[in-house]
Amino acid sequence: MTKTGIPYDAYVRTDILHSLQRPLSDAPGEMSFLMITQIMELYFKLIAYELRSAQESLRADRVPDAVGALRRTALHLEGLNASWLGLRWMTPADFNRFRELLGEASGLQSSMYRLVEFRLGLKNEALLRPFRHRPQGDGLQRAFAEPSVWDDAVALLARRGHDLPDKVLDRDFDAEYEPHDAVERAWVEVYRDDSSDLRALGEALAEVSERFGDWRYQHVAAVRRAMGAKPGTGGSNGLGWLERSMARVVFPELWSARTHM
């Protein structure tokens, strides 16, 4: 033990961590909901960190380092997805016991989750509106305007000699990404070489995409279980919005290219 307390507590900051759970009711489900939401927020931060690390490695042509960061991202997404298990028991009656206390609070207002989406290439200017004139707004705006992980991977393909048009490489990165046949053909060529480090990159990206897809499915399932098609907190249309968001594919040509392999 040190003069300031137990070393573990000092390093992990358990005093702060365990002071953050402040339920507003005595409903049994609120502590689960609050703490699991906080756990998810920590995972968002970890995932955003790893995605940024992957981008830095891609830009420096350090493909093995990028693959490592992406594989860690996929594992963190597995942990994030497992968090939903702690809410699987919750029925509409359980949720309704404290739901009104959330007021206008909504998961759609999570700036760290938006950062994850932007780094994955899921961009929609409307998603920035809640954060304007907020402390998180500047960082989100920068991420929105920067290349995504997918943009950096495509740029790497071009540097490795794949013929990609300027409209893909020099596009406005704050616009929604539009799939291109040339990118699809490049990935088909990559997968023809079993020993290519780019093939390993493709598989790591695919794993991230799949695990993120699992996250969105689990989110829809949890909302459907706890509140059905009721309007969401914060004014969203809840289940309908989440179901539509699932149609936005992460790393699209990586999947469409498989049809031609």
Residues placed in the known binding site:
99, 219, 233
Asked if 243 and 106 touch (Cβ cutoff 8 Å), the reply is no
| 238: its two tokens | 């809840």
Of 126, 119, 149, 151, nearest to 244 by C-alpha is: 126
Binding residues for heme: 219
| 89: its two tokens | 């028991």
Nearest-angstrom CA–CA distance, 256 and 261 = 10
| 93: its two tokens | 């009656």
| 52: its two tokens | 């940024």
| Exposure on the CB side of residue 88, measured as CA atoms within 13 A | 7
Binding residues for substrate: 99, 233
Distance (Å) of CA 18 to CA 12, 27, 35, 113, 147:
11, 19, 10, 22, 37
Amino acid, single-letter form, for residue 192: R
